[in-house]
Structure 1
Amino acid sequence: MPWAARTSLGRILDDLGPTLLDLVHGSPEPADEVGGVVIHDPGDDIAYPPHAVVLGVAVYGTKAIADLLHGLREQGAAALVVRGPVAPDEVLAEASAASGVALIALTQGASWSQLTALLRTLLTEGGVGDAGPESLGGVPSGDLFALANAVATLLDAPITIEDRRHRIMAFSGRQDEADQARVATVLARQVPDGYLRVLEGRGVFGELYRSDRPVHIAPATIDEGETALPRVAVAVRAGDEFLGSVWAAVKDPLTPDREQAFQDAAKLVALHLLRHRAGEDAQNRLRADLVSTVLEGGAGAAEALDRLGLVHESTVVMAMGLTAQDGDHAQVVAERQRLTSALGIHLDAVQPRSALALLGDVTYAIVPVPADTAAGRERAEQIAANFMERAGQRARAVIGIGSVAAEPAELGRSRARSDRALRVLLSGRTGRRIASIGDVYIDALLLEMQDLVAVHGDELLSPVARLVEYDAKHQAHLVRTLHAWLDAFGDVMTASANSYVHPNTFRYRLRRVSEVGQIDLQDPSVRFALMLQLSLMGDATP
């Protein structure tokens, strides 16, 4: 059976809430695929698909909602959607729990037809590259440019569709018939600041946010001698959420019919904007699922890798994490997402077939590289180094690089090695920003041995334990002396200079190390054991 995304209730809430839907009672956790959308009609004998989302269009009041929840238990429904607001209620909570049907509220101002169209779009959505030729209002779903041209035909005027930050999401043809301000806006894909200030000063945006009707705007200019056309703009909303706006550059006032058509078109634009946003989120989430499946290995890994278009490629796993940062959790999350997006843009430019996903606190990239091990590792390091150079020193990111995987079964090992290298980089033991496991292998082993020490609950063992105990009582600095001597390979002059201690004092302390610890410093195996234990102590060294 092909690996496929499943549209669960949780995914629907992720895509459409809180813009349109709010979970009141129940849980979206069950991963069963939603089987369809049903509009509840008490006078009709409805055939319910399994795990249906039921739209209670005219169901109001606690008793009516609770009765319907109980009735939907026999139908195996997944959720009941009623018009909000619906306050949490003990009766409704008990009915939801007893029936196993989640209760969801549709936000005020959102239309049932809008919700139905979006739900059915989500339920028919396939995997990456599998979406069919869906349409909303006769325009390909999510194709904002086709929609802009359709609206331009209705109004006989060039159109732009803007998001709430005044960025141009799509525009129609015939922009050359407009004015200088429109041309500058389309070229920059952003309304110029000068025009925004003029419109803000007139109170245009305030009126646009308040009104459901098209707003007529007198020509706006910022340069002497500039000419401009009037504008008509209409807000695009989903319920109470302002999604953006549609702007028409008109030579003549709109007729009443065209003004009504413009207002109606805004509702269709809202559907497409929501579908566009949901589609992007769904694609990102599906890609993350595919990357996760590949990295976990198992039966579905090869098929997931095939879905990503990498099954016949030699690849390397990169793991990017953030070093400790000041700031609150939200700032760290935002920085992690920003760097993930930046790495994605970088990989699109230098290695377009790469697959990227943020999984937990780590960003993983599966990057195609040459099959030769040395050449593949060199290419991966070059890509990572170029990204770090572009990101700059202020970006506190580090990247661990795994081994070259010639076939899908080897990707699990590549991921494990990238994780091990990343852990060393995040520990700050090396001061490096990029490393493969071969670069930091000893440090990785030491960290893993520290894990074993912690798991077994081991305490310091003699002779180091005797030195630590003696130092605690007498402030004799014996452990520090031993550490300095081992680091200097037995060179007393170098070790004493590094410790800022007179050589004779250092020799005396070294003799006390042998006496107190009962250590034969001439035995190489003893010296190795001491170096290892002191390394495992790490920051705990007195």
Structure 2
Amino acid sequence: MKTPSKNTNCFDDHVRKYEDGACRVDNWKQGANEWSMMISHGTRLDSVVSNLAGTLLEMVAGNMDRTTLVTDVAIDDPREQAELRPGVMLLCIYADVEHLPGLIDRAVANQIPALVLRTPLNLPAELRATIERSGVVLLGLSTGATWTQLVVLLRSLLASSAGAEELLAGLPAEDTFALANAIGALLDAPITIEDRSSQILAFSGRQNEADQSRIETILGRVVPQYAMQAQERAGVFKRLYSSEKPVFFDTPQILGEAGLPRVAIAIRAGNQVLGSIWVAVREPLSPEKEQILVDAAKVVALQLLRHRVSSDVDRQVRSDLIASALASGQAAIGAIERLRLVQRTVVVLGLSLLGDTAGDASSDQTRQQILERTAHAFAFHLSVAAPGAVAALVGDVCYAIMPSMTRQGATNLISMALRVSKDFLDRTPDRAGGAVIGLGRVADSADPTELARSRNDVDRSLRVLKRGPGSRVALFTDLQMDALLLDIGDQLRNEGGLVDGPVARIRHYDKQHGTSLEEALELWLDSFGNALGASAALDLHRNTFRYRLRRAADIAQVNLDDPDERFAAMLEFRLSRLRRDVD
């Protein structure tokens, strides 16, 4: 696409080309055609929907197939039905439910995998069934989102594998600071771009013309705590996020100190607030500059969404590769190569959260957010502390594959993995009950089955660690017996439990007669046959205890002089306690 000249007002140009996301369709179609020549291969449809769900796209009808690829984006213009190539995602900006039967027929004929219409869409049952049978997926553009945002983000996803450089309003899409400088120049004032947590994403030049609070913000890359608290008390964020226009704030009065007022505007994608732009001013902006700020917020929204999608795609790719590498099979070999772990001695680690928030939707959401942040921090920690290590969240576990520092042997690999893991947990707040890390056995990356076995070790280790309390980091070799007991317990539950074993018999007798023979037998076994110590623990005379023990052995039908029968009874007691803990 053509790049605006340096003398062109980039935001006015952006608005002229894409005003309200529904007008300049011809420009869109030209851009889509130019872009399609740059696409070398497709992106999975389910990945596209996953990355844009919640902000721009909604799943309406159809069956998602993991093998379906999107290779291009096209705008459907009923005035001229251009020839469509297979794999195109068709944006039907003029269509409604009544047009769907014809669109579905056209999509099937041209091998179009997905159609996008503006929501809400009230589909009759028969039409929904027709869509299900057709193999076409119907998506909805979320309320409040614009077609412009969808086009730009779809282009970003398709371009992520093509390596093409994009321009946003004539500026390199990667250069957020250049974008901030452009906004500052148009407004003739220093500005900052912040996320929802008041973290600084970018800032323009001329910050020396602002005040002390702004200087502290730039130096710390976040709005100072005292300023945020003052703004919250004054209802600044409530006003900001409820308005679609720039809002003027008398900052000196809010903070109670000398400085400049601010004009701020929320950055939105659909109904979701992504952040805000803050302008240090001496007086309210003129109507012309307010409009510039409104237009700038739209461009910044595209920038932030593009970064989000790019990082989401990277994380998803990394997650898929690690999952494949740890799952054995033919796909593991290719995944190991792409992760640059070929012919390396490695160990698999797994991080998971403790705590239980089952049944509470809001708590589940909070737990997932904490898990994602913790996994991201763990991956970053490994990248610094163990060069070459890779990590990603797969399900509810963050798996990591850590290679040895040399290509031969496993010297100090386990000790390094333990040290790195303990160091991370020591620095991590105990949110959602805290985190635990399990380590599998050392594996040779050339053998995918060894990696899969090491991952299985990690899963079994985490199950033991999450029962707590105890160590937060452990090797599977140190937990193998505990893991084995859990496995035996699972097998027994699948078979309906122990059938009339010694513990079951004595427990049934105690329940019927109100006695406590089970306690005497269990304590004697735990004391390795020390009747004196066991009687003291129960505060009983040793003769009384010995009588109860004989009665318990008779009722349980166990020969306490036989080591095999003693071991069987001890194992049954242990499994019984384990089941109580799990339940």
**Distance in 2, Cα, partners of 1:219 & 1:445:** 63
Asked whether the 8 Å contact 1:316–1:367 carries over to 2, the reply is yes
Alignment of 1:227-238 (within 5 A): 227-228=259-260, 231-238=262-269
Deviation at 1:71, TM superposition (A): 2.7
**Could you say which residue in structure 1 is the equivalent of 2:523?**
484
Bigger Cα displacement from structure 2, 174-183 vs 51-60: 174-183
Match of 2:53 among 11, 17, 35: 17
Deviation at 1:95, TM superposition (A): 4.1
**Could you say which residue in structure 1 is the equivalent of 2:80?**
44
Q: Secondary structure at the match of 1:300?
A: helix
Match of 2:320 among 269, 289, 294: 289
Matched, 1:405 2:443: yes
Q: Gaps (5+ residues) in structure 2?
A: 1-39
Asked whether the 8 Å contact 1:199–1:220 carries over to 2, the reply is no
- Identical-pair percentage: 41
**Distance in 2, Cα, partners of 1:342 & 1:20:** 27
CA deviation map 1:203-246 (0-9, x unaligned):
76666556655556667367788343x54444433334333332
**Could you say which residue in structure 2 is the equivalent of 1:246?**
277
**Could you say which residue in structure 2 is the equivalent of 1:274?**
305
Bigger Cα displacement from structure 2, 244-253 vs 266-275: 244-253
**Could you say which residue in structure 2 is the equivalent of 1:532?**
571
User: In the superposition, relative to structure 1, how do residues 319 and 216 fare at CA in structure 2: closer, same or farther (>3 Å)?
Assistant: closer
Asked whether the 8 Å contact 1:160–1:248 carries over to 2, the reply is yes
**Could you say which residue in structure 2 is the equivalent of 1:59?**
95
User: In the superposition, relative to structure 1, how do residues 218 and 264 fare at CA in structure 2: closer, same or farther (>3 Å)?
Assistant: same
**Distance in 2, Cα, partners of 1:305 & 1:157:** 51
Alignment of 1:7-156 (within 5 A): 7-60=43-96, 62-90=97-125, 92-126=127-161, 131-156=163-188
Q: Secondary structure at the match of 2:442?
A: strand
**Distance in 2, Cα, partners of 1:5 & 1:368:** 32
**Distance in 2, Cα, partners of 1:234 & 1:473:** 73
CA deviation map 1:70-127 (0-9, x unaligned):
332212222221233323443542442343323222235543233212112212222x
Q: Secondary structure at the match of 2:115?
A: strand
Asked whether the 8 Å contact 1:384–1:434 carries over to 2, the reply is yes
Q: Gaps (5+ residues) in structure 1?
A: none
**Could you say which residue in structure 1 is the equivalent of 2:331?**
300
Aligned residues: 532
Asked whether the 8 Å contact 2:322–2:392 carries over to 1, the reply is yes
Q: Which amino acid aligns with 1:523?
A: D
Q: Which amino acid aligns with 1:535?
A: R
Match of 2:549 among 501, 510, 529: 510
**Distance in 2, Cα, partners of 1:92 & 1:420:** 47
Q: Secondary structure at the match of 1:27?
A: coil
Bigger Cα displacement from structure 2, 107-116 vs 292-301: 107-116
**Could you say which residue in structure 2 is the equivalent of 1:321?**
352
Bigger Cα displacement from structure 2, 444-453 vs 329-338: 329-338
**Could you say which residue in structure 2 is the equivalent of 1:417?**
457
Deviation at 1:259, TM superposition (A): 5.4
**Distance in 1, Cα, partners of 2:234 & 2:203:** 25
**Distance in 1, Cα, partners of 2:52 & 2:549:** 70
Asked whether the 8 Å contact 2:70–2:89 carries over to 1, the reply is yes
Q: Secondary structure at the match of 1:58?
A: coil
Asked whether the 8 Å contact 1:167–1:189 carries over to 2, the reply is yes
Match of 1:357 among 381, 387, 392: 392
User: In the superposition, relative to structure 1, how do residues 433 and 136 fare at CA in structure 2: closer, same or farther (>3 Å)?
Assistant: same
Matched, 1:179 2:211: yes
Deviation at 1:287, TM superposition (A): 1.7
Q: Secondary structure at the match of 1:151?
A: helix
User: In the superposition, relative to structure 1, how do residues 412 and 108 fare at CA in structure 2: closer, same or farther (>3 Å)?
Assistant: closer
**Distance in 2, Cα, partners of 1:198 & 1:509:** 71
Matched, 1:220 2:252: yes
User: In the superposition, relative to structure 1, how do residues 422 and 6 fare at CA in structure 2: closer, same or farther (>3 Å)?
Assistant: farther
CA deviation map 1:444-479 (0-9, x unaligned):
222222223233445335555544444344344343
Q: Which amino acid aligns with 1:414?
A: S
**Distance in 2, Cα, partners of 1:155 & 1:427:** 58
Q: TM-score, normalization: structure 2? A: 0.80
Q: Secondary structure at the match of 1:439?
A: helix
Q: Secondary structure at the match of 1:296?
A: coil
Q: Which amino acid aligns with 1:400?
A: G
